[in-house]
Homo-oligomer: A and B are copies of this chain.
Amino acid sequence: MKMFVPLTTLERYPDYLNYLRDLDYGETDTISSGAIASALGLGEVLVRKDLAFTESVGKPRVGYVIKELIAALQGALRCDVEKNAVIVGAGGLGRALLAYGGFDKYGINMVAGFDCDPEKQYDVCGKRVYPTEKLADVIAEYGAKLAIICVPSQAAQSVCDNLVAAGITGILTFAPVVLKVKESITVRQVDLAANLAILASMTE
């Protein structure tokens, strides 16, 4: 059974997963949708709907077997599939992400970085930072499909074009510009300054 999971649901799966993984649970321990909802500050109906897209089946008055639910969420997020990713732009943010250990739990290996500045082409936590000209070769070598763009805005579109030409199909970008890509490529943008500005607008 393989279901299409709506994006808004998929975006909540890491929260469920982080919460469940931190619990102290045994082989057959269960948890109710109400307990999950309360811990995450979500509505119980929403939680039940979200989890209905997984392969884990909740039972009335018993709930979900925690171990099964974790496996189902990991399956939906494809944590069991090893994926290689690269980072373009080895400035402060790029280097911080190369050093970040949190990608492993989703089956993502951050394999290499790239920068056009020779002074930034040094290893970070054992990960090599290559000159940008090596982009296509290194991506092909690792079979990477995922990339993070950490370059300044004015360079982001051309980096994006090069990544797509090299076979990347999923791009996470921190540059505050809208990237133009063909339909088969998925882009997610994280605009850090905008996030803080929106927060400020909401907390007036």
Q: Spell out A's residues near B (CB within 8 Å).
A: 5, 7, 10-11, 13-15, 18-19, 22, 39-41, 76-79, 81, 83, 85, 91-93, 95-97, 99-100, 102-103, 105-108, 145-146, 148, 153, 169-172, 176-178, 180, 185-186, 188, 190-204
Contact of A92 among B76, B95, B193, B197 (CB under 8 A): B95
Name the contact of A39 in the complex, choosing from B107, B172, B178, B196 (C-beta under 8 A).
Answer: B178
Is the CB–CB distance between B10 and A202 below 8 Å? yes
A180 partner residues in chain B, CB cutoff 8 A: 41
A108 touching B10, Cβ below 8 Å: no
CB-CB nearest in chain B for A202:
B186
Please indicate the chain B residues that have their CB under 8 angstroms from the CB of A198 in the complex: 7, 10-11, 13-14, 77, 188
Q: Nearest 7 CB-CB pairs, A to B?
A: A92-B96, A14-B194, A106-B197, A170-B203, A102-B193, A170-B199, A93-B96
Q: Assuming A41-B180, A92-B92, is B14 touching A197 (CB within 8 A)?
A: yes
Which residue of chain B has its CB nearest to the CB of A148? B196
- Give Cα A42 to B153, complex, Å: 20
A188: chain B residues within 8 A (beta carbon) = 195, 198-199
- Contact residues in B for A7 (Cβ distance below 8 Å): 198, 202
Considering the chains assembled together, what is the distance between the CA atoms of A79 and B97 in angstroms? 28
CB contacts (< 8 Å) of A92 on chain B: these are 92, 95-97, 99-100
- Besides A145-B203, A170-B202, A185-B203, 19 more A-B contacts (Cβ < 8 Å) are A10-B198, A11-B194, A11-B198, A14-B176, A14-B191, A18-B177, A19-B177, A76-B201, A77-B197, A92-B97, A92-B99, A97-B192, A105-B193, A106-B197, A106-B200, A108-B196, A108-B200, A146-B196, A186-B203
